[in-house]
Amino acid sequence: MIQKGFYLLLFSWCIIACAPKPAPILYGEDNCHFCKMTIVDQRYGAELVTQKGKVYVFDAIECLLHVLQKESGRYSQAAYVLITDFTQPGKLIDAHTSSYLISKELPSPMGMFLTGFKDHEKALTFQQKTGGKLYRWEELFSNFATLSGKTEFSTVSTHQ
């Protein structure tokens, strides 16, 4: 009986320990999975964690979106899709519940002028200060090809 309990405890621990989880982006060290640039700006990083626990980091939200669209079947069941909150540099937040602002006054690393916010009210405040257009994840994701074609990002991303 004690042996069964031990194995049950060991099995439970393995399940918990092996669950996929986000990892901190190592700014100044990690390279973007898409564009291969070193990730340095803590206001714009992004991360994708697969169900198997593989972590992919990105220089900008637009790099993450490009990979998600290009390989949608491969990542459709991701464990985590995270972006950095512009107002809390380095803090990863859920991409699906965030607000996004495309504003020429907020240049992102890859030139799409795409910035993410955890708090929709803060995104509205930045929009009032800088102009631009606000998006939710679904709208941004479904219109990404069109939106990225309207910015400098479309010329940057052709090397992939």
pLDDT digits (tens, 9 = 90+) for 12-44: 544 455 789 999 999 999 999 999 999 999 999
* Pick from 104, 112, 102: nearest CA to 59: 112
Q: Which helix (H) or strand (E) holds 48?
A: strand 46-49
pLDDT digits (tens, 9 = 90+) for 51-90: 999 999 999 999 999 999 888 777 778 999 999 999 999 9
Q: DSSP letter string over 41-93?
A: -TTS-EEEE-TT--EEEESSHHHHHHHHHHTHHHHTT-SEEEEE-TTSTT-EE
